[in-house]
Amino acid sequence: PSTPAGLYHGMIHPLLPVALRGALWYQGESNAGRAAEYQALFPALITHWRAHFGQGDFPFYWVQLANYKAGPPNDLSWPLLREAQGRALALPATGQAVAIDIGDPDDIHPRNKQEVGRRLALLAMVRTYGFTGDDSGPVFAGATRERSALRVRFEHAWTGLIARDKPLQSFEVAGDDRVFYPATAAIEGDTLLVRAPEVRAPVAVRYAWRSAPEANLTNGAGLPAAPFRSDTW
């Protein structure tokens, strides 16, 4: 199974040219640590499948890696892999189900498959079959400085922003020194105001930027915000 292209030639190519309505994908754990490579490989896989099935840009929806304690606390291989997955949204007819809140930090194969399936189904229902409703949690859209805080904006936040069960967790901000400190985040309409007392002039914000963060930011539909960072450090 680890031979290059072995899984494709053994399990996908024999199906050609079968008709299909779309694809659901859940993979990436074994690529953690090689996010830059995955950033190229994953869109290439989607484009390759579409070309060989010969049915145009059929829908391709995937699950972003769930929360899991991989490596030491400051290991960023999993957040970077999640970011690489999200970059594939630049391709047409794609969607991402976020699972940062329903994994098991101690089990790389979390058992809550039902909610994973429900979130994938929402993407298919809304984007492929024409149903109406929310199919995504908040997605980072930008951050601007307001005195000693950063104002964070989102897409998919028209139903509001919600801190589930407790004050918002897992936010960090940094100044020009690129040193991140834990931050508090206050909901103001469909935006957040994020600040840390140690950072008087913040220039960057991160959310859930760890392997197994405590992530409790959702929209009104209860769908979780995707982990994000405003920097490229």
Residue 74, pLDDT score: 86
> Does pLDDT of 190 surpass 80?
yes
* Distant-in-sequence, close-in-space partners of 162: CB < 8 Å, separation ≥ 6: 187, 217, 218, 219, 220, 222
- C-beta pairs of 111-118 under 8 Å, 24+ apart in sequence: 116/26, 116/63, 116/66
Confidence category of residue 179, pLDDT binned at 50, 70, 90: very high
The whole-angstrom separation of Cα 178 and Cα 174 is 5
Residue 189, pLDDT score: 92
Residue 20, pLDDT score: 93
Strand order of the sheet with strand 94-97? Answer: 23-25, 60-63, 94-97
Confidence category of residue 133, pLDDT binned at 50, 70, 90: very high
Residue 23, pLDDT score: 97
Residue 27, pLDDT score: 95
> Does pLDDT of 1 surpass 80?
no
Please name the residue ranges forming H helices in the chain. 6-7, 35-53, 77-87, 113-127
Closest CA to 98 of 45, 60, 135, 73: 135
Mean pLDDT (the chain) is 96
Residue 4, pLDDT score: 87
The whole-angstrom separation of Cα 138 and Cα 155 is 6
Instruction: Record the pTM.
Output: 0.95
Beta strands in the chain (DSSP E): 23-25, 60-63, 94-97, 139-146, 149-155, 161-163, 171-174, 180-188, 191-195, 204-207, 217-219, 228-229
For 68-123, the pLDDT digits (tens) are 998 887 899 999 999 999 999 999 999 999 999 999 999 999 999 999 999 999 99
